[in-house]
Amino acid sequence: EGYSTHFGTAECARWFLHHEIGNIRRYLAKHEGYRLRLVGHSLGGAIASLLAIMIHRKSAKELGFSPDIVSAVAYGTPPCVSKELTESCAGYVTTVVMQDDIIPRLSVASLTRLRNEILQTDWTSVIEKEDWKRFLDLVTNAKQAVSSVQDVAHKLADYANFRGNKTPSVDPIGKELLDTVEAPLPPKAAKENSVVVKVEETKPAVSEELFIPGTVYYLKRDLVSQNDVEEEVYTLLKRQSGEHFQRIILSGNFLTDHRCDSHYFALRDVLKGLPWNGEEGIFR
């Protein structure tokens, strides 16, 4: 319907809509007055979000219930919808992103930006400053990031419209990027320049960049020192409209920040610090 989304995720959401809508209709009829909230983590969060979007595209007559009672809350969701769609579903889809979690930032475009950032880093100045820990951490995290997302990055190269072609296509820039990242960096600047020129000359078709859906909340971690003991403190921030997580952060936490239990403990700490007013909170 004019919007783009991740092909595999949309197909999963469409499967649930086709096979489970009868159960959803029956349970809502049995528990009249209740609302339906779809919840998921990672790819499950993306499917829950897209399922909510698909339900909201249908009429109450088609569904057998009002689509307005359906919402979705997702944690660590990968980019799966176009920019226009993420803004249009902000009223009923909520996504929570934790600190340096790599998955909500993972796309062909963000991997391209990461590659360019690594190539453009002045490693001479880093070595001259004897900042070896930063150097080793960056190299280790970069290697881990690339090796951890190879399969996912290939899948992110397949996009489809809700009513478009259902046959996934191979994205040439996605394959070229992965082949380039897997190869060792050229030792000479001239060789680097020749690679850049070659990419610019071929100008492969670039797939539309995808984003995480809905209203986004960011779990920010800070270290607070009390009595010479450091402890983690979390703050829940709301993303402003138009702001997106498009840069991969190469920290030592970019994988652990994606775990379910990491979200659980961080949100628990946030809720402990909030005054209770008897209302439902942000997930309405």
SS3 string, 169-199, reads CCCHHHHHHHHHHHCCCCCCHHHHHHHHHHH
User: What are 104-139's pLDDT values in tens digits?
Assistant: 998 888 888 888 877 777 766 666 655 555 555 655
- Residue 208's pLDDT is what? 76
Positive or negative, the CA dihedral 58, 59, 62, 65 is positive
Instruction: Examine the pLDDT at 165 and tell me if it is beyond 70.
Output: no
Residues 208-214: what's their mean pLDDT? 88
Positive or negative, the CA dihedral 178, 121, 204, 186 is negative
Q: Please report, rounded to a whole number, the percentage of residues in the chain having pLDDT higher than 90.
A: 43
3-state helix, strand, coil in the chain (%, to 5): 50, 15, 35
Residues 183-212: what's their mean pLDDT? 53
Cα–Cα dist 86/88, whole Å: 6
- Provide the β-strand partners of residue 152: none
Instruction: Examine the pLDDT at 13 and tell me if it is beyond 50.
Output: yes
Instruction: Examine the pLDDT at 188 and tell me if it is beyond 70.
Output: no
- Residue 136's pLDDT is what? 55
Token reading at 9: 């995720």
Orientation angle between helical segments 172-182 and 108-120, nearest 10 degrees: 40
Cα–Cα dist 142/5, whole Å: 27
Of 207 and 141, the structure prediction assigns the larger pLDDT to 207
